[in-house]
Structure 1
């Protein structure tokens, strides 16, 4: 059994990859097993909790959830297992006081150790998708505006975040922690031209044959950048003194309208 773990990073094509896995789960079934966030909620929440607290109780819970999740896999099934969720690396930076993925090396080495205990015959490989620093920071800022009560302008956020935006350096730290298990990386900029986008990087790792891959349905890129006007409106809402539930509802409606408009425009242009 080959466990192929795609554990991040946030805003590097992860949602697109996961939507492609979900859309093609049945088509991939003869050659691979798919595990997404919804298939392991206890493990992903435990990883996020430990990344926030660094507490040894949360660490013990993470190890327990890793063992429980891995125990659901049939060790006699030869198909590779495609595991994808960035939450395995913890919370997105600049939430809960975090400035990077400092917990990711221990989280991934812990997953390696639990795999060795629960599935001793399994082979484990890691994949991290990465991205150039400045586009990554812009995308993270937009995500925070949409999901949190971020009140920084892009310039303010960039000044704080850019010093911590070297994803290749972070991947190097994870690689050192999980050795001798291999860690592979793929840049989002290089994956854009691939037939299946970011999914191709995970299928490369799993060795899924070209003939099956040719039958898979590509999905459009997810979470495309919101227009500047929408981002400015989100920032204004976050800076207002209105109640959070009211702000959250208005932001959700605003983003949905923007997504519908973008979809309608793209459809009209094709």
Structure 2
């Protein structure tokens, strides 16, 4: 029996939160056809992948390999259902944090995952690495917004984006991953191309599986999540980050403003 595994390992700000929310929402329907594992099922693995991204050393890579082997070791080789893993943190920290300009550690992390999966399942393995991507400018703007709301980032978008002028693009990272994972396949889909699909960004991911008995029309489509509100609050957040206000006051203010912004969009 061949076990199919699809690892949705990134990238941040490409619809991954929406995908994972729909996987949770439709868990009861999907569990008959698919074994779905989200971040909470392999926290040690995502933690070690993030650590390696900011400290790429032999020791931290070994910790990734150990966590990968530990996770795959828990999977039942006799279960005929294919496996789906989804967490953008498998690619490391999001660029714009910890001085990172791109996912330079992703290839070696995926190699660890590939080797651990092959060790557990042997030759009876069909492994696919799937990455959702996005056009460069909207992706950078979205990472800027995420960092703006979650940290004390003080750069405006123009200054922020300029630091990525010489950084490798997402397609370059995909090429490197493909070189690192051996016989495993690497595939991707642009967020912009998924917007009109029946299940949005979840559609190209489920299309990788052969699930003839799954009625896709029975799955619940959810609205996009974690999207920047288009009401001008980015300038407010930038001013808060640049202020001398204590961290707790800044975070409290951001939560209140985001709640107000959501109410305007209902």
Deviations 1:71-91 (A, max 9, x none): 121111111111100000000
Deviations 1:82-141 (A, max 9, x none): 110000000001211111100000000111011111222332111011111111111111
Structure 1 length-normalised TM? 0.93
Asked if the contact 2:110–2:181 (Cα under 8 Å) also holds between the matched residues in 1, the reply is: yes
Asked if the contact 2:96–2:144 (Cα under 8 Å) also holds between the matched residues in 1, the reply is: no
Structure 2 equivalent of residue 16 of structure 1: 18
Q: In 2, distance between residues paired with 1:229 and 1:160?
A: 23
Asked if the contact 2:36–2:83 (Cα under 8 Å) also holds between the matched residues in 1, the reply is: yes
Instruction: Count matched residues.
Output: 263
2:208 is aligned, of 189, 205, 209, to: 205
1:105 is aligned, of 104, 107, 113, to: 107
Moved more, 63-72 or 181-190: 63-72
Q: In 2, distance between residues paired with 1:106 and 1:258?
A: 40
1:185 equivalenced with 2:199 (yes/no): no
In the TM superposition, residue 171 of structure 1 has moved relative to its aligned partner by 1.2
5+ residue gaps, structure 2, are none
More helix by share: 1
Counterparts in 2 of 1:32-47, with a 5 A limit? 32-47=34-49
1:216 equivalenced with 2:228 (yes/no): no
Structure 2 length-normalised TM? 0.95
Asked if the contact 2:33–2:214 (Cα under 8 Å) also holds between the matched residues in 1, the reply is: no
Q: In 2, distance between residues paired with 1:164 and 1:78?
A: 42
In the TM superposition, residue 165 of structure 1 has moved relative to its aligned partner by 6.1
1:99 and 1:250, CA in 2 relative to 1: closer, same or farther beyond 3 A?
same
Structure 1 equivalent of residue 248 of structure 2: 245
Asked if the contact 2:102–2:169 (Cα under 8 Å) also holds between the matched residues in 1, the reply is: no
Structure 2 equivalent of residue 90 of structure 1: 92
